[in-house]
Structure formats: structure tokens, C-alpha cells
Amino acid sequence: MNKIFIRIFTFSLLFVVLACKAPRGNENTVILIKTSLGDIKVRLYDDTPVHRDNFIKLVNSGFYEGISFHRVINNFMIQAGDPATRTIPIAKTADSLNTYTIPAEFNKQHFHKKGALAAAREGNDVNPEMRSSGTHFYIVQGVKLTDDELINVEQRITSNIKQSLFDKSLRQVADSARLSGTLLSESEIQEIAFVKMFQYLTTNEDYKIPEDQRIVYKEIGGVPRLDGTYTVFGEVLEGLDVVDKIATVKTDSVDKPVTDVKILKMKIVNK
């Protein structure tokens, strides 16, 4: 199957999926994910409705059937959702994130604990709005963390927030100057952005992981460094042992399983 055919097939299928109306009564939706290594049951969150309804459309269309987990990192997560993985062997273009996107739905109550279901996305350099991939998802495995490790994570997240806000300020100042016809040098743009950052730093505290979430990260595990930057839209109800089983399969130098791990079927099981 050549690349042109894969791309035509991918976008043709996505067009059909998006043309379908979302089913009514999507609240408290539970999805059964049947894989070649066992079953995983996940619940979709109702307060991330864009991701919930998008996932339901894909499941009902049969989109995920035959797709492989193409990126697997032990003690981190397992990822699937690229239609290029239907080929055998898995196409080198897998993990391209070359599908449609949907807006982020961040919720501080939903975090990257073990078993969290979240949407993959492209990096901030090309995706500053942190929009989610329409089809790629991952399930967190993670590890248990100590208090000292959680403090380091908080410092890292704080640093990332500050850098992201500064980059956003630079773009806003440059765009505003261009639209108004004002000529500003790079140093002048940076100076104005620094002032905006100083105002932010004097009115906002550093990031802190909520105490209830700290307990979960210490007792159950997860990947807290991803919080607030990737949309979590569900969680595993049953089958964490299957997640562990998939996460520990042998992989190659680019984190693809040496032996294919397929999604055989997905279906709604609480209706």
C-alpha cells in the first residue's frame, strides 16, 4: 500500500466519520477496547465533551479496528490512533499526527494518573494552542513518585508555564505592532514582553500539584509533567494489567512494538 493511497484512505474515512452526527445521550459513556493482549474498559469524562463526542464518533464508525499501538514506552504510556498502522509491517509514517485536530479541553480535576486516557498532539513549536490530535490517544502507565520528585515536577511545570507565556507575549506584541503599523525592533518587542511577564510573576504563584493528586501520584503513579498541556478526557475502569502488559512488550529504537499489538474492536458497553 503506497503513501498516496494511505493518505487518500485516511482522509476519506475521516470525512465519513465527521459527517456522522454524534449520538444522543453521551453521558457516562464506557468504551470496551479489545486488544490482541486483552481487554481495557475506559470511561469518558462528560466535562470534556468535544473529546468525548469525537471519540464516540470514531468508535461507532469502526475507525480504530485494526489499528496498532505504534508508540509504547514502559513506565510512561501506550499510544495508538494512526491509520497508517493498519499495514503490516507498520508503515514508517506512523506517529505522523497527520490527521485533523480538535481544541484542547484542560481541566485541573483531570490529571495524568496511571490509567488516564488522553489525546496526543504536536509540539508547542508548531501547535501553540495545544490542540489535540483528532485520532491519536494514549493511556498513561507511569511510575510512583516521591515527594522530592513531585517537587522537581512542580518546578519544571512552573518553568514551562513561564516560558510558554513569554513566547505568547512575544507573538502578541509583534502581532499588535504589525497590525498597528508600528515599527519595533526585536529588542523593543522583548522589553515589552518582559514587562508583561513581570506583571504576571508578581500576581501569580508557582504551580503546585493539588494535595489529593499528590497522594495519587505517590500511591498509584502517573506522569505529572504532562498535566495542563495534554487533554485528559477519560480513565481506565478495568484492564490496568493489560496496559502494563502492552507497556512492557519489546520495542525497537523508535518505540514501536517488535510484535504488533492490535486494537481488534472498540464498542460502547453501557448502552
pLDDT single digits (tens) 192-233: 988 988 888 888 889 999 999 999 999 999 999 999 899 999
C-alpha 187/C-alpha 263 separation (Å) is 52
Give 10 or 263, the one with higher predicted confidence.
263
Helices (H) and strands (E) in the chain, counts: 6, 10
C-alpha 113/C-alpha 233 separation (Å) is 12
Mean pLDDT over 127-156 rounds to 95
C-alpha 213/C-alpha 224 separation (Å) is 9
CA end-to-end span of the chain = 37
pTM for this model (two decimals): 0.81
**pLDDT surpasses 80 at 92:** no
Range from 6-15, 129-138, 252-261 carrying the lowest mean pLDDT: 6-15
- Give the pLDDT of residue 23: 45
Give 188 or 145, the one with higher predicted confidence.
145
Over the chain, what is the mean pLDDT? 87
